[in-house]
Amino acid sequence: MIMKTCLVFLSILIHGVLHLQASHVTINQDLQSILQPSSPNPTYRTAYHFQPPKNWMNDPNGPMIYKGIYHLFYQYNPDGPSFGKIVWAHSTSKDLVNWTPHPPALSPSQPSTDSGSCWSGSATIISGQTPAILYTGLNQQQQQVQALAVPKNLSDPHLLEWIKSSHNPLMAPTSQNQINGSSFRDPSTAWLGHDLKWRMVVGSKRNRRGLAILYKSKDFIHWTKSQHPLHSGKDSGMWECPDFYPVKIDGKDGLDTSTPVGTGIRHVLKISLDETRHDLYSIGRYNARKDSYAPEHEIVDNGRGLRYDYGKFYASKTFYDSVKRRRILWGWINESLPIVDYVKQGWSGLQAIPRSVWLDKSGKQLVQWPIHEIEMLRTNKISMTNKVLKEGSKIKISKITAAQADIEVSFEVMGLEKAEKFDPKWRDAELLCNRKQSWTRGGLGPFGIMALASMNLEEFTAVYFTIFKFGEEHGKYVVLMCSDQTKSSLNVRTDKTNYGAFLDVNPVHDQLSLRSLIDHSIVESFGGGGKVCITSRVYPSLAIKEAAHLYVFNNGASPVRISKMKAWSMKKGVIN
């Protein structure tokens, strides 16, 4: 039944194909013509994070695996380093680390659909073998509409050519469906229901209520808007880039989006809040009969939900890796420079390291960890065990390339009685990180690493933990994880926000683990085995290349023990 639907779907799509034509216009054209360099400034470019050679990049789009080849499409302005007329750039990989570029998969060409831009969307693998892309087009009326494209040649594992459906646009705002034409974008990966109808959601809003609008289709072409959204949230603003997928209650294996709903499954709804540029998610139950979703724990509706990453990380997208049976997460790391500065450097934006994602044993949050393939770039390993960090001390990590490194360290807490009492009013972790900065002498902490540090510590980005006692109960503690950018650069024009989150570990029984991927202008950190992730985008003035250093430190009043530490220099990936 599914195969028959797939074949009918393909025959309808290919009939009446419109050929792609490159047509690009750049906004901020005067600014770019004055400031844009003849060649991109390489000073802060990364060595193993995904980015194009030059120009603007934002959202990851339609990641998938097809015939053993990984595909990443992404929002790209071919004409300059600021946002403009966007195409779907395309690269492929055999290992998610080294990438080969290809011509854009989608470029503006259909006046009624995408003459303004080809904006974000997702890929669905139909019947396990046929890729289809749903994406948002910006039409001649500046309306956001949804469109479809499929590969021209299914025997080509690199999928170099894509054809757009002559039925485009498939979904458009009208007065009858009460959809706001300026807030209707980013279709999700589709899933097949019990009734053999496809379902997917599109991000939107009505007034201040964020919406995940649900659509259904028998043939992937003719879509009907459901009476009720899959989920919505009051006073949250526009919901961008919705992602909806199942996770197993037990184990790390990923699941295909169309996995039937069962007792051993929960669902994740992720939304990107346009107003805050945060990616929030909740874990809940999907009622397949009623097509409704109900969060079980944290609520995404008003911005207080769980986040994939508490730093620079937005417009994320997951896909199911059917070969290695895992769910993989991509996310855009946007700039911390003003627009004038990143236009001058000739490039903007990059992608975080792909992460494996699974449900924590508690069932209350997700766990994320860098894909294991990134470890192929490790070299020059150094290690340390059972080393006490006295109060107010630091140790330099030598014999590695500190600007291009991977470090894993586990801390054993000593002297829990020294922990400062936690004030119940401290509900905002980021504000607390601003209050308890890395150089502030505390009770139990701050302790962690100082990355991209200059010789005399005029500059550094600190990633650290601080532990607090919770009330008068014995054995109750709160663990705060922070990424302090206050002294990350002497450049006063960069964003120096301090990021933070509360980490769900018990320091009485558990060691505090930290892993950081350091890549010239990126410090991507994973606390508690991936329960909290924080990505910092920094631009040091002194701590560049060979002048960058790496330290472990303890500024608390009680010593901590480094039970084990491993660090590596990282080789450069072959990227585009």
Of the candidates 59, 79, 114, 186, the residue annotated as catalytic is 59
Q: What single DSSP character describes residue 20?
A: P
Provide DSSP, 235-286.
T---EEEEEEEEEESSSS----TTPPP-TTEEEEEEEEETTTTEEEEEEEEE
Closest CA to 490 of 542, 429, 424: 542
Look up residue 361 and give its two tokens. Answer: 């044993």
Residue ranges of alpha helices (H) inside 299-394 are 339-345
Strand, helix or coil at 430?
Answer: helix
Indicate the Cα dihedral angle 524, 529, 532, 533, nearest 10°.
20
Q: What are phi and psi of 533, to 5 degrees?
A: -120, 135
Residue 136 corresponds to which amino acid?
T
User: Beta partners for 77?
Assistant: 56
In sequence order, what are the residues at sequence separation of 6 or more whose Cβ sits closer than 8 angstroms to the Cβ of residue 98? Answer: 573, 574, 575
Place of tokens 């397949």: 288
- Cis peptide leading into 169, omega within 30 of 0? yes
Phi, psi of 222 (to 5 degrees): -95, 110
Q: Which residue has the tokens 């049976």?
A: 325
| Cα angle: 33, vertex 114, 217; to 5 degrees | 150
Known catalytic residue at 341? no
Closest to 281 measured CA to CA, from 239, 251, 320, 218:
239
Q: Where are the beta strands (DSSP E) in 44-128?
A: 55-66, 69-77, 87-93, 100-106, 117-126
State the Cα–Cα distance between residues 56 and 77, nearest whole angstrom.
Answer: 5
Residues forming beta bridges with residue 145, ordered by sequence position: 137
Coil, helix or strand for 153? coil
150 Cβ contact partners less than 8 Å away, ≥ 6 residues apart? 10, 13, 14, 130, 131, 132, 133, 162, 163, 165
10 Å Cβ neighbour count for 154?
14
Q: Read off the tokens for 517.
A: 């991927």
Q: How far is CA 178 from the centre of its chain?
A: 31
| Residues 545, 362 contacting (CB under 8 angstroms) | no
Q: Could you give the CA distance from residue 390 to residue 418 in angstroms, rounded to a whole number?
A: 14
CA quadruple 111, 117, 118, 121: dihedral positive or negative?
Answer: negative
Which tokens in the block code for residue 509?
């029984």
DSSP letters for 508-530: TTS-EEEEEEEESSEEEEEETTT
Tell me how far apart the alpha carbons of residues 410 and 444 are, in angstroms, rounded to a whole number.
15
Catalytic residues: 59
